[in-house]
């Protein structure tokens, strides 16, 4: 047999093999070319991939206070990344990451085997490409196509970015679930620490989650996470990133999730402050001067800003603790006082009962339970009415007006006369009431009210607020009783401000944020006697009165036409207890005892209210909030805790007012400065006169100074409003001004006696507890040794009453002598 046959067959085999190989190569090239011109990202997408970054909020001592996000992500550069994370990632996912060009030939075969699985054989660059530009498919053919896309995109990414940038982008992009986007957010969520502080075992847990954040989640599946952690650590040991000894140590550690904390607005420090900060940021960043370089406003949920606040984390912690402890005991007292009584009907005339009932009904209508009922009964008829009457407005108030108009002739005309509704609104109401929809609307509204009455008076299991570790408790009560129960809780506002800088150090906006979101720092309440220092300060500054000046404690009055007060009838207020002693009281005692008689006398002496309003305005109080009425000397003005605390910084800061600030600067994600706070200050009182007021406030607060033996110099003033609705205490130290308000959401939520409802009982204890906590902690940024600054040139007003009395006696003797010498007295007969 000839050997030509086998040789010919071999040549044919080689030919076909080469043809297949070349054809396969051409097919791959053609396929790559086809994919390259298919639906791939544009160049600018590759160069500017979209990230959504969380905005981080920091305290003054560099602690994270909170974050705003659509996706909870904080950008971390490669240089900032923890080496444990880098080593764990490279060792586990792509050991040749720093040497390949985006596609690792050695992993090619492995990639083919894993095309039907998530991530097998992919380089870190390919995994980044998949996160950005392809959606994972379980279909084998589609997955092959996607894999080719990822390879091409990986090559493009490698051209445009360094290895370090690619690795950082991948770790910043990955979603670790629980609203944790990126390695920084994940470290905070799972371990309660910055990623830079992660130990090797903790880094291994998070890197292990990159394969499947649900399957290997340490919170959901701790056993799987532990096994995956050991696997990652073993890869780190194999790669030389971890010694055998350290491997054994890290392997043996259990996964510690004791600091696991999912981001929640109602949890953590200063929740009310963070709520107000949100509004402030949106308002501020909408201004043209704070817009992006390319135009447009920053989005706090997407643009990764860094907001640096003035809140001190330790002071805030102490403030919240002091507020909670006091409000717990105060609330217990309140419930005892009101046991068996209903604040919505107690001691109220028919008009007051109507107002309180409407307030309660409003709370019912604004509840989630009622909203769901309204959707069930009213949505259909509302939709039909709007379809026929496009200008129809169907709020609860509109329906109630139409129902009342149906039974009370001329009601809509009355509303128009009072400018409550417009002529067009009235016309629309009449159209609806004459339409075919009116009977159905009335019927459905009636059914809604009947069902609501049943549901809101039916007992059921529910959670309500409680002063305990978790902030709530399980109970059985009706929804109506639940609304009343929560409304019967006293609320608190507390603000601590550095008088020299105006920086807000602590902000407590309410008793609990989870159940009571309303913030009481900027709400206006009647201020009571905390306004009196403005009257005294004006008298001292304008007329040079010494605090030793004596005023008789009797009833004073201001008549119509008296000076520039512009009263229409005689004004003759009483003291808080309705009694007058008839004694001569110094201004020191008048302020300390909060005697209305002394304040009214000072107002008469000043001759008009504008001098007081002007001083208060110079101390930061908005002048339009201060009535042009002599009653301001007793605290008739309604001001916010922010207004009052800011004003009192004047006394603690040598007469210089500092406008309170709570944000020092804002940076974009690249560290570029967007906003920088500029202090706003002005001299309101000359130092000499201001020091006199400081001395008076110290005397007024001498009770707490003596009882609690504070090392700090302390001054302050209590305030109590009519019917004990509001209790205030404004406290000053050389290093901190603290304002506290306590009261109910509604004026009928109050104590019923001066013994329980005065500012010294409702508000002052919070200041005392807070200051005690500050003085007991040497690590807190508070200087208890600081002193009120006495003017170097001395005082132009005598504040030592013994010396003052002697001067007065001497002056009186000199006056008598002058009168005698001038012959005003007859010669004495012998």
CA distances from 395 to 363, 384, 400, 421, 443 (A): 15, 15, 9, 13, 17
DSSP letter string, 16-63? HHHHHHHHHHHHHHHHHHHHHTSS---HHHHHS----BPEEEE-TTS-
588 near 606, Cβ under 8 Å? Answer: no
Two tokens at 683? 């001299």
Q: What is the pLDDT of residue 562?
A: 78
**CB pairs under 8 A, 24+ apart, for 708-712?**
708/768, 708/771, 708/772, 710/771, 710/772, 710/775, 710/784, 711/775, 711/784, 711/785, 712/771, 712/775, 712/784, 712/786
Which structural domain, as residue segments, surrounds residue 180? 73-262
**Domain closes at, from 414, 439, 456:** 456
Q: What is the pLDDT of residue 8?
A: 65
Distance, in Å, from the CA atom of 302 to the CA atom of 324, rounded to the nearest integer, reads 34
What are the b/e assignments for 82-117, b being 16+ CB within 10 Å? Answer: bebbbbbbbbbbbeebeebebbbeebeeebeebeee
Bridge-partner residues for 68, per DSSP?
55
Q: What is the pLDDT of residue 127?
A: 85
C-alpha closest to that of 84 among 182, 255, 206: 206
Bridge-partner residues for 58, per DSSP?
64, 308
Residue 743 DSSP class: E
Distance, in Å, from the CA atom of 495 to the CA atom of 742, rounded to the nearest integer, reads 12
Same domain assignment for residues 99 and 231: yes
Same domain assignment for residues 257 and 361: no
Q: What is the pLDDT of residue 119?
A: 45
Residues 6+ apart with CB under 8 A from 451: 373, 377
**Domain closes at, from 227, 262, 297:** 262
Q: What is the pLDDT of residue 810?
A: 85
Tens digit of each residue's pLDDT (9 = 90 or more) over 506-532: 999 999 998 999 999 999 999 999 999
3-state secondary structure of 400: helix
Cα 25–Cα 28–Cα 32 angle in degrees, nearest 5: 140
Whether 38 maps to a domain, the answer reads no
Whether 256 maps to a domain, the answer reads yes
Same domain assignment for residues 383 and 256: no
Q: What is the pLDDT of residue 24?
A: 56
775 near 784, Cβ under 8 Å? Answer: yes
Whether 463 maps to a domain, the answer reads no
Distance, in Å, from the CA atom of 49 to the CA atom of 167, rounded to the nearest integer, reads 14
Two tokens at 81? 């990344």
**Average pLDDT of adjacent 10-residue blocks, the chain of 830 residues:** 60 67 56 48 53 85 86 82 95 87 62 48 81 58 60 77 89 87 90 94 95 91 93 96 95 92 74 94 93 88 92 98 97 95 92 93 91 92 93 91 92 93 93 95 96 95 93 95 96 98 97 93 96 97 95 94 84 91 96 96 94 97 96 96 98 97 94 94 96 97 91 96 96 98 96 94 97 97 96 89 89 64 46
Same domain assignment for residues 373 and 234: no
Two tokens at 225? 């996470």
Same domain assignment for residues 246 and 105: yes
Bridge-partner residues for 682, per DSSP?
657
Query: If you search the block for the tokens 């916010």, which residue do you land on?
Result: 640
Whether 22 maps to a domain, the answer reads no
Distance, in Å, from the CA atom of 94 to the CA atom of 86, rounded to the nearest integer, reads 11
Quick count: other Cβ atoms within 10 Å of Cβ 552?
Answer: 14
Residue 817 has phi, psi (to 5 degrees) of: -65, -45
State the pairing for strand pair 64-68/55-58: antiparallel
Same domain assignment for residues 377 and 242: no
Same domain assignment for residues 370 and 242: no
Whether 153 maps to a domain, the answer reads yes
769 near 492, Cβ under 8 Å? Answer: no
Two tokens at 764? 């002052």
Q: What is the pLDDT of residue 131?
A: 78
C-alpha closest to that of 405 among 390, 416, 419, 393: 416
**Domain closes at, from 215, 247, 262:** 262
3-state secondary structure of 485: helix
3-state secondary structure of 497: strand
Distance, in Å, from the CA atom of 638 to the CA atom of 171, rounded to the nearest integer, reads 52
Whether 759 maps to a domain, the answer reads no
Whether 570 maps to a domain, the answer reads no
Whether 367 maps to a domain, the answer reads yes
H helix runs in 179-308, sequence order: 183-191, 200-208, 222-238, 244-252, 271-285
What CATH number corresponds to the domain at position 249?
1.10.3810.10
Same domain assignment for residues 258 and 356: no
C-alpha closest to that of 187 among 87, 76, 53, 265: 76
Tens digit of each residue's pLDDT (9 = 90 or more) over 666-715: 999 889 999 999 999 999 999 999 999 999 999 999 989 889 999 999 99
Bridge-partner residues for 683, per DSSP?
656
Same domain assignment for residues 248 and 363: no
Q: What is the pLDDT of residue 150?
A: 72
CA distances from 373 to 363, 440, 454, 483 (A): 15, 16, 12, 17
Per the structure, how many domains does the chain have?
2
Quick count: other Cβ atoms within 10 Å of Cβ 705?
Answer: 16
State the pairing for strand pair 306-309/55-58: parallel
Same domain assignment for residues 256 and 374: no
Q: What is the pLDDT of residue 796?
A: 87
Residue 66 DSSP class: E
Same domain assignment for residues 100 and 215: yes
Cα 122–Cα 126–Cα 131 angle in degrees, nearest 5: 115
Two tokens at 73? 């992500």
Helices 200-208 and 83-93: crossing angle in degrees, nearest 10, is 40
Q: What is the pLDDT of residue 117?
A: 46
Distance, in Å, from the CA atom of 482 to the CA atom of 458, rounded to the nearest integer, reads 11
Same domain assignment for residues 258 and 385: no
Cα 23–Cα 28–Cα 33 angle in degrees, nearest 5: 120
Cα 210–Cα 216–Cα 218 angle in degrees, nearest 5: 115
Residue 720 has phi, psi (to 5 degrees) of: -135, 130
């Amino acid at each position: 047999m000839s050997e030509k046959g086998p040789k010919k067959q071999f040549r044919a085999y080689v030919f076909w093999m080469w043809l297949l190989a070349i054809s396969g190569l051409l097919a791959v090239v053609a396929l790559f070319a086809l994919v390259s011109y298919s639906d791939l990202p544009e160049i600018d997408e590759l160069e500017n991939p979209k990230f959504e970054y969380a905005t981080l909020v920091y305290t003054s001592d560099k602690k994270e206070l909170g974050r705003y996000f659509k996706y909870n992500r904080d950008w971390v550069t490669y240089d900032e990344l923890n080496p444990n994370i880098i080593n764990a990632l490279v060792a586990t996912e792509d050991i040749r990451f720093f040497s390949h060009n985006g596609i690792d030939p050695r992993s090619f075969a492995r990639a083919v085997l894993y095309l039907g699985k998530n991530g097998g054989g992919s380089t870190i660059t390919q995994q980044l490409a998949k996160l950005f530009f392809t959606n994972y498919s379980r279909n084998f053919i589609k997955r092959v196509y996607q894999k080719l896309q990822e390879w091409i995109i990986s090559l493009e990414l490698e051209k445009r970015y360094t290895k370090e940038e690619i690795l950082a982008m991948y770790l910043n992009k990955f979603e670790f679930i629980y609203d944790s986007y990126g390695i920084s957010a994940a470290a905070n969520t799972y371990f309660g620490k910055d990623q830079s502080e992660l130990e090797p075992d903790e880094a291994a847990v998070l890197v292990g989650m990159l394969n499947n954040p649900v399957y290997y989640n340490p919170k959901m599946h701790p056993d799987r996470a532990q096994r995956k952690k050991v696997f990652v650590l073993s890869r780190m040991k194999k790669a030389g990133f971890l010694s055998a000894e350290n491997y054994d140590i890290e392997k043996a550690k259990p996964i510690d999730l004791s600091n696991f904390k999912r981001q929640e607005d109602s949890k953590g420090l200063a929740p009310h402050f963070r709520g107000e900060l949100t509004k402030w940021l949106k308002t501020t960043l909408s201004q043209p001067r704070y817009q992006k370089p390319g135009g447009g406003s920053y989005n706090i949920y997407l643009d990764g800003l860094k907001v640096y606040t003035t809140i001190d984390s330790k002071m805030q912690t102490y403030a919240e603790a002091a507020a909670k402890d006091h409000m717990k005991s105060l609330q217990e007292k309140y419930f005892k006082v009101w046991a068996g009584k209903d604040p919505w009907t107690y001691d109220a005339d028919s008009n007051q009962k109507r107002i309180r009932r409407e307030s309660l009904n409003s709370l019912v209508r604004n509840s989630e339970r009622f909203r769901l009922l309204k959707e069930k009964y009213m949505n259909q008829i509302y939709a039909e009415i709007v379809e026929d009457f496009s200008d129809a407005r169907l709020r609860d108030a509109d329906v109630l007006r139409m129902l009342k108009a149906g039974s009370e002739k001329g009601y809509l005309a009355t509303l128009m006369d009072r400018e409550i509704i417009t002529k067009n609104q009235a016309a629309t109401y009449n159209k609806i009431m004459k339409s075919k929809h009116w009977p159905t609307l009335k019927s459905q509204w009636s059914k809604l009210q009947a069902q609501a009455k049943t549901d809101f008076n039916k007992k059921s299991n529910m959670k309500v607020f409680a002063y305990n570790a978790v902030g709530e408790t399980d109970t059985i009560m009706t929804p109506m009783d639940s609304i009343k129960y929560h409304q019967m809780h006293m609320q608190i506002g507390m603000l601590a401000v550095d008088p020299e800088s105006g920086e807000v150090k602590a902000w407590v906006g309410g008793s609990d944020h989870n159940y009571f979101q309303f913030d009481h720092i900027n709400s206006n309440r009647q201020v009571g006697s905390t306004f009196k220092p403005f009257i005294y300060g004006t008298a001292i500054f304008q007329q040079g009165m010494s605090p030793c000046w004596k005023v008789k404690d009797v009833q004073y009055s201001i008549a119509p036409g008296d000076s520039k007060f512009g009263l229409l009838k005689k004004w003759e207020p009483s003291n808080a207890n309705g009694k007058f002693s008839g004694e001569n009281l110094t201004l020191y005692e008048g302020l300390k005892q909060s005697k209305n008689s002394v304040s009214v006398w000072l107002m008469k002496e000043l001759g008009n209210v504008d001098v007081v309003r002007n001083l208060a305005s110079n101390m930061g109080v908005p002048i339009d909030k201060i009535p042009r009425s002599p009653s301001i000397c007793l605290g008739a003005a309604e001001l916010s805790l922010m207004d009052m605390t800011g004003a009192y910084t004047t006394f603690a800061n040598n007469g210089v007012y500092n406008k309170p600030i709570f944000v020092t600067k804002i940076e974009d994600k690249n560290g570029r400065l967007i906003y920088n706070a500029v202090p706003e200050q002005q001299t309101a009182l000359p130092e000499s006169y201001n020091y006199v007021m400081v001395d008076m406030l110290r005397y007024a607060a001498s009770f707490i100074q003596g009882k609690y033996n504070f090392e700090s110099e302390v001054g302050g003033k209590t305030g109590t409003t009519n019917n004990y609705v509001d209790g205030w205490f404004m406290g000053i130290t050389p290093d901190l001004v603290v304002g506290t308000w306590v009261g109910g959401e509604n004026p009928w939520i109050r104590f019923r006696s001066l013994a329980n409802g005065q500012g010294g009982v409702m508000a002052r204890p919070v200041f005392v507890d807070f200051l005690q906590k500050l003085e007991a902690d040497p690590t807190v940024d508070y200087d208890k040794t600081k002193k009120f600054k006495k003017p170097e040139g001395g005082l132009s007003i005598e504040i030592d009453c013994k010396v003052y009395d002697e001067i007065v006696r001497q002056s009186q003797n000199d006056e008598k002598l002058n009168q005698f010498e001038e012959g005003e007295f007859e010669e004495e007969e012998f």
